[in-house]
Chains A and B, each alone.
Chain A
Amino acid sequence: MLQCSFMKGHTHPITLAIAKISDIFSKMGFDTVDGPELEDEWHNFDALNIPADHPSRDMQDTFWIKDRKTKNKDGEDSGYVLRTHTSNLQIHTMEKYVREGKEFPIAICCPGKVFRNEATDATHEAQFHQVEMLYVAKDASLAMMIGIIEKFFSEFFGSNLTIRLRSSYFPFVEPGNEIDMQCFKCAGTGCNICKQTGWIEIGGAGMVHPKVLDASGIDSKEYRGFAFGCGIDRMLMLKYGIDDVRLLYNGDLRLVNQF
């Protein structure tokens, strides 16, 4: 019961998770990149093939910035938002590679804070963390994407996990997939974490839509890409059984000091 007064401080679990994620990806040859949280419509939506009237752009889901406008590449009025996903870094990175003439493949992971305008409760926060993975090369394939994602989750959760792909739809990928991960707790036999199914819904992924490559200045006839994204908060909550996401953001050492 006695907890001796300590000398060392504690690292926030989000930082621990991000450091681990960067470490896993570094070993696979992927750089870690970061980028703006306040983003223009082009990088957050347009370049990702999300049409102007897509429901995710609604006021209910997105934090829009007041009195700030610019022109997009087509010369139209364009606003600013708090990024709704880390996918904006797909675009920034691809643009950078093209601008600087950097050598392909692009292999990056981008952990970072993202924002959704939604009511908060124990499992929903208006700010949370995501990690995005992007690979663009001549040899990109869905099978390679599966290999990387399996390696990623296996390393993070500390046991050999397989994933399964289900068909899904995101405008910036084609094919698009929902990713289920084999339950790390019961190894697929069924437990309360996986609601007895043996599988946990964990993220979205797919082959980068040719329109997204083209929008970033990459020739989609020559290159292919794949991308994957998932919630860091959710991974932490699953791994450690944290029952309230809000505890990650109110500066409470009762949580932090446990790590």
Chain B
Amino acid sequence: MKFLKSWLQDYIVEILPEDAAIKDALNKKAFEVEEVIPVSGDTIYDIKVLPNRAHDAFGHRGMAREIVADFAYTFKEDLRILKNDSFLSPTITTPVVAIDDAQSCTRFMSIRIDEITVGDSPDWLKKRLESIGQRSINNIVDITNYVQFSLNKPMHAYDARSIKGTLHARFAKASESLTTLDDKELKLDEKTLVITDDEKVLGLAGIKGGKFSGIKSDTTSVILESANFSPTLIRKTSQAYDIRTDASKRFENGIANSLIEEGLHMTANLIKEICPDAKASAGVDIYPNKDLPGKVRFSLNEINKILGANYTSRDIVDTLKRLAFNIVSNEADNYFIEVPSERLDIRIKEDVAEEIGRIIGYEKLVPVLPKLNRQGILNKRTYYANKVREILITNGFSEVITYTFGNSGIVELVKGTATDKEKLRSSLGEGITSALSLNLYNAPLLGQDTIKIFEFGNVFTKEAEEFHLAIALDDSNHKTNFSQESSLVLAEIKRTLGVEDLHGNTVSAKPHVVEIDFDSLIDTLKEPNTYEPTTFSNLPVVSYKSIPPYPFVARDIAMWVPDNITWEDIHNLTLEIHNHLINRIDLFDTFSKEKEGVKRTSYAFRLVFQASDRTLTDEEVNKMMEPYYELFKSKGFEIR
């Protein structure tokens, strides 16, 4: 949300410091300043106002009060919020206003102002609105906007000619409709709160006005609406009609009813300032249930305990003063305070603790550690899963984590990220099988021929959420029978944990996938009662290499070499040829043979090429292979 420095300055006696200081203080104590935009002789701050502060800090006055508290400055009120009878004319009829439901419209004020002239706004007004991204429309509309961005109070002005009878806040009838300012025709329903007169719907209450009652170039009399509406109702209506406005954003976060009169008076006073001939009716105010002021009781001791601080009475009193929180009574450091009406967010002592903590500065708190004198223990699942992980990893299995949602399962989502991701897995089988094929595809890059993986994860049946383990094995040729290897490792798991039944089932024989109901497996085991670090409890030092998104190309070489040549020799020779696209060199087969009394060794190895910026073509790789062949031939090796 955008704020203009000079506009904030209007509310502060002291001259504001440099932008960097303002940004720093707000960042630490209140809100993130997302952007500081210098404009000629002024600055625009784009500030991310927290949702619980929308009640006050969505307006320049509220933001200025925050800055006053942050810097211990002096606040200066804009006196135009006060009622001004100097242009009251008894001959002008006061508008008639009605509220049907005091819950949905909590306060409604109105006034009529005659003898105005619609025209361009004065430069100062235009400039201020435009600097925060608002288009200038005409003086009257601009004034209502100015009040909105000053006080955080949305205002509405009607052309008095278009209002017949009573201004009424009521729920719409099913047959009614409304044409908005931007020519959209809205079909209304009975859950929609509207403002009407005796004949027609004038607008969606608190959200948007209608087309036919707005200010026109020949308008000479206006009726002002200053009202407050239920935040929940505004949020629902704004969602239902998909209309979000500066006004709806403010009402749906909730604003204090004290703003209703301040907004009305400020609008009237600004109209008088800009249209000097203006004359006003008496105002009308419907306010069935008055807001109770926010009052909080707390003690110095309570605040210090929450914050872990040693603040003094002096610190508390000073901070409350900076925040303009009124101390109603203070007996032996037991405080009873009343907060400014806009601060709907301050209701309990924890709220006050936050205010005191942030204004004095969280950096002043001295960190401490609790003295628990014990070691924390692991939950049962993790404790036994870690033991099994150790076994699997020792046996050459690597761990994967796959997605909880997919195409098959019993439990369904109402809406997922995609239509093929709307079911929760009831088995780990599908995820681990696709991880297996991904890794088999990449086997040359991994320098492995056999892929052995496992996953721990939750699966979802109709009744329950279960913690499962799956293991999966396969090789590139899909030839090896892994059932024995699998049985051995599973037997080791049983033996280590001391359980009889594995609670497992073979999901698939080829590739070999076994899934275990791990919760059932460990069901009879005792809860861990001491902490034991695992073999992997210390984070390894890894210089991570990014994974190129481009495919790799593998080339195999098999050749006979004399008996005295080792794999290391061949490997070093290979490295003599400078090629930065070579990713791996892996030996996959070797054997020796005697032929005519000469012992020779055959080496079969794989070169893997990959570029980080493009897909390598076959031709390109063929060319890259030539120097290797030439080199080996020059050494007298026989390429097979």
Contact = CB atoms under 8 A, between A and B. Distances in A.
A117 B381 contact: no
Interface stretch (B37-45, B106-114, B581-589): B581-589
B564 interface: no
A31 B379 contact: yes
B411 interface: yes
A224 B11 CA distance: 38
Contact of B536 (A11, A30, A59, A119): A11
Contacts of B585: 1-2
A218 interface: no
B445 A107 contact: no
Contacts of A239: 539
- Sorted nearest first, the 6 A-B pairs with minimum C-beta distance are A251-B435, A143-B308, A29-B372, A141-B308, A175-B354, A147-B367
Interface in A150-186: 150-151, 156, 158, 164-169, 174-177
A191 interface: no
Contact of A175 (B350, B412, B452, B540): B350
Contact of B376 (A32, A119, A252): A32
A167 B386 CA distance: 38
B343 interface: no
Nearest to A18: B382
Nearest to B574: A1
Interface stretch (B157-165, B261-269, B398-406): B398-406
A241 B544 contact: yes
26 contacts: A5-B449, A7-B396, A9-B396, A12-B399, A12-B400, A16-B540, A26-B531, A29-B372, A30-B372, A108-B376, A126-B417, A142-B306, A142-B362, A142-B365, A143-B309, A143-B368, A167-B28, A167-B358, A174-B353, A251-B431, A251-B455, A252-B439, A252-B547, A253-B451, A253-B453, A254-B446
B64 to A, nearest CB: 17
B497 interface: no
A19 B393 CA distance: 15
Residue among A26, A109, A113, A118 having the largest count of chain B Cβ atoms under 10 Å:
A26
Given A28-B376, A207-B306, A135 B398 contact: no
- Interface of chain A, main secondary structure: mixed
Nearest to A178: B32
A174 B415 contact: no
A31 B367 contact: no
A251 B400 contact: yes
Contacts, number: 296
Contacts of A53: 232, 235-236
A214 B34 CA distance: 36
Contacts of B14: none
B139 to A, nearest CB: 36
Nearest to B434: A251
A185 to B, nearest CB: 13
Nearest to A139: B370
Interface string B45-77: 000001111000000000000000000000000
A50 to B, nearest CB: 12
A251 B370 contact: no
B376 to A, nearest CB: 4
A105 interface: yes
A72 to B, nearest CB: 18
B536 A253 contact: no
B6 to A, nearest CB: 25
B121 interface: no
Contacts of A27: 375-376
Given A32-B382, A142-B308, A26 B376 contact: yes
Given A63-B413, A117-B416, 9 more contacts: A26-B531, A142-B306, A167-B50, A167-B354, A175-B350, A240-B544, A251-B431, A252-B547, A253-B398
Contacts of B542: 240, 258-259
Nearest to B365: A143
B539 A156 contact: yes
Interface residues of B, number: 108
A64 interface: yes
Contacts of B348: 174, 210
Nearest to B456: A15
Given A175-B358, A249-B402, A137 B370 contact: yes
Residue among B30, B414, B424, B458 having the largest count of chain A Cβ atoms under 10 Å:
B414
Nearest to A115: B404
A249 B369 contact: no
Contacts of B455: 251
A117 B460 CA distance: 18
A241 B545 CA distance: 8
Nearest to B431: A251
Contacts of B547: 244, 247, 252, 254-255
A251 B402 contact: yes
Contact of B438 (A82, A115, A252): A252
A61 to B, nearest CB: 11
Residue among B394, B439, B537 having the largest count of chain A Cβ atoms under 10 Å:
B537
Contacts of A19: 386, 533-534, 536-537
Interface of A: 1-3, 5-12, 14-20, 22-23, 25-34, 36-38, 53, 59, 63-68, 82, 105, 107-109, 113, 115, 117-120, 126-127, 135, 137, 139, 141-144, 146-148, 150-151, 156, 158, 164-169, 174-177, 207, 209-210, 224, 239-244, 247-259
A6 B396 CA distance: 8
B478 interface: no
Contact of B442 (A108, A142, A253): A253
B638 to A, nearest CB: 23
Contact of B546 (A26, A147, A243): A243
Contacts of B438: 250-252
B413 A148 contact: no
A257 B366 CA distance: 42
B559 to A, nearest CB: 17
Given A28-B372, A142-B365, A251 B439 contact: yes
B446 A26 contact: no
A1 B404 contact: no
Given A164-B362, A251-B453, A16 B367 contact: no
Nearest to A165: B362
B232 A25 contact: no
Contact of A2 (B394, B396, B449, B571): B571
Interface in B371-429: 372-379, 381-382, 386, 389, 392-405, 411-417, 421, 424
B514 to A, nearest CB: 16
Given A15-B536, A141-B305, A251-B431, A10 B367 contact: no
A256 B398 contact: yes
